[in-house]
Chains A and B, each alone.
Chain A
Amino acid sequence: MDFALLANILPQVLIDGLILGFMYALIALGYTMVYGVLEFINFAHSEIFIVGAFVGVEILLSLKSAGILDGLPWPVVLLLLLVAGMAVSGALAVTVERVAYRPLRGAPRLIPLISAIGISFFLQDLIRLVESIWRNAFNLVYPTIDVLNERFELTPTIDVSLKSLVVIAAALVMLAGLHAVVNRTKIGTAIRAVAEDQTAASLMGINVNRMISLTFLIGGAMGGAAGVLFGVQYGLINPYTGFIPGLKAFTAAVLGGIGNIPGAMIGGLVLGLLEAFAASYLSLLTGGAFGAEYKDIFAFSVLILILIFRPKGLLGEVVRERA
């Protein structure tokens, strides 16, 4: 085996894994926050995420056709994309909760899950419908911002694009911001109280429904931001792109201990790194018999193993059993 080759690509694999991991971490927050409060898997979160990516591409395309994309400094563009993506995805998440989940609160736990699957499928085709009418195409490509594609040489063998650094930085800022909101503000305390015990929280004068909406808003906004970053990083999106990253982000949430916000971040990073390693080393280590195609299977195997051997996840939030 060629160990020199394995070692040579290692830093690149690490960087790819980190980017992927931050992406998963941002998406996983949506799953984990909702689960923490309602003990419910928001299956439609993957579509809320990809809606963010579509908002981003629409803004970029309209800026481009208006001819002002190249005139604007890239941080302004990126900030615009992020804010718009977060707003739309957050609003969508709140709407979905109002329409499809709130009427089902208190029903047997599979009932809202099935409803969420329905919403997920409905949204996929809704995006397709809207884009088909609007652009007559639903596979969209992010217009490139040339500056962002500039690459820095870290060492003679490794280079990293500005884009990747921006994605990582943006994800870090948002994760830190969320952590501060949840742990340092009154609203964050209220959300945690509702997650702990809804009845007790409502007796303390907390508006439980509003806090649940807020949870969906924050989770959705994080998902939307992840969508924009996903689009900027990987370029190509279609209405069905969100599904697999969504599933993996859920895996990440479970990996870190679902319901646990720092857990989602760590789980995302671990899963991203594992997947990047699997994608680049699986084929090298097995002599080409099993290639990068198996990286999805790899992620699912991680999920199954975690659920069987350590269902609390790495950080071990205790999930209460509810009949």
Chain B
Amino acid sequence: MIQLAGAVVLLVVSALAVAAFPRSILVFLLFQTALLAVYLARMPTWLRAALLGIALLVMMPLIGLYNGYYLEVATQVGIFVALALGLNIVVGLAGLLDLGYVAFFAVGAYSWAIFGSPQANAVFGGGFPLAPIWFYVFLLVGLGVAATTGVVLGLPVLRLRGDYLAIVTLGFGEVIRVLANNLDKPINLTNGPRGITPIARPPAPFGMPYPEYFYFLVLAIVVVVVLVNRRLEDSHIGRAWEAIREDELAAQAMGVPLVRAKLLAFACGASFAGVMGVVFSAKQVFINPESFTFLESIGVLAMVILGGMGSIPGAIIGATVVTVLNLQVLKGLSLWLNELKNAGVTVLGWNLANLPTQLEPAKYERMIFGIILVLMMIFRPQGILPVRRRQRELAARATTSEAPETVAPAR
């Protein structure tokens, strides 16, 4: 009861605070914390659903009216939540470390970008861009193309052992990026590093402004993705994935078709990324290969690891925390440092105006990802919101691996 009251109060207070200080990053972080509190507090499921529904469907768009940037951040968070949930299937459930996940996102994005812009004229003659309404068809096309790519990649490499698989998927991610960068000749398919623009946006219903429209679209997709994920987890194939993750040999002995199950994991994870890629390209209007680097793949991986491998709420929290760190905290630090610099503040007798100009906290996302990955692996490999089964498993491993310590100090 106290938890429920606390969560509701926090939600109301943070909403009021956002209304009062529409430009403050801290206040928006408070709002996000309130959402988390609602999620974690003990309360009936219908009440939780109702509160989250109000917060996401009513309060968030209202906040967006005050400050469009927050809505943009929320949309980005949504995109990364879907990506993290997709990768969660591959890494978390099936235990296949995919370091080139963003390639599937790129495949989806380019599939709409090419046909939703005049770019396709270079290949197929005239008639492009397609009418904006085709966007909805391409949500499925993007899904299909990404899933197919997942299968095509998976077929030759899924027999490899875990760490080799990781490196090969990394290479594959780079291959897709290099292709996107260079397929402007002999046929101009991707327009190379200059990227593709303008990409058509779908017609928004009820004359809704685009930021709101994309927010709701992403939210709807995230809801679908979460539902699919939850159903998958306890399904036949979900169990098979977890069995593979725990012990491949044992799973195979129990009759799990290894290659087919792994391929399905790759295809499922890829399809989520493909759909979001289509949305991303329409939302951005412009895409180029720079959006699909190894850095992005590791970013999504950091989200999954932070939240807890295999855990759906974990992936959501991880995606939120990492995206907000990147978009808000680091940028906020940059702005703040710049203000201090321009004001010529002195710290410990040292004028901040002399700070090197190359020192920009906004550029240090790799450091954030790196610290997250290392600290989580050492101190909490099961993540912030672990799945109960996974938690037990990692705890069990820790004790068994410590047991022989007395006999052989080497291990």
Contacts and interface: CB of A to CB of B under 8 A. Distances in A.
State yes or no: do A and B come from one complex.
yes
Interface of A: 40-41, 100, 103-115, 117-126, 128-129, 132-133, 135-138, 194, 198-199, 201-203, 208-209, 243, 247, 250, 254, 289-291, 293-294, 296-297, 300, 303-304, 307-308, 311, 321, 323
Contacts of B170: 247
Nearest to A199: B408
Nearest to B359: A132
DSSP class of A's interface residues: helix, strand, loop or mixed? helix
Given A100-B374, A121-B369, A122-B371, A296 B178 contact: yes
A125 B181 contact: no
Given A113-B163, A132-B359, A296-B174, A118 B411 contact: no
Interface size class of B (residues with CB under 8 A): 35 or more
Contacts, number: 163
B246 to A, nearest CB: 9
Q: Which 4 A-B pairs have the closest CB atoms?
A: A118-B373, A122-B370, A208-B410, A106-B401
Interface string B322-362: 00000000000000000000000000000000001111000
Given A111-B377, A121-B373, A136-B356, A202 B168 contact: no
A133 B356 contact: yes
Interface string B273-308: 000000000000000000000100010011001000
Contact of B358 (A104, A112, A136): A136
A40 B175 CA distance: 24
A194 to B, nearest CB: 8
B160 A307 contact: yes
A115 B358 contact: no
Contacts of B367: 121-122, 125-126, 129
A112 B356 CA distance: 35
A300 B99 contact: no
A133 B359 contact: yes
Contacts of B160: 307-308, 311
Contact of A114 (B249, B301, B401, B410): B301
A2 B371 CA distance: 53
Contacts of A107: 377, 381, 397-398, 401
A137 B381 CA distance: 36
B98 to A, nearest CB: 11
A119 B371 CA distance: 7
Contacts of A112: 377
Contact of A323 (B178, B249, B371, B409): B249
A41 B167 contact: yes
Contact of B377 (A118, A132, A133, A297): A118
Contacts of B182: 290-291, 293-294
A57 B107 CA distance: 40
Contacts of A111: 377, 381
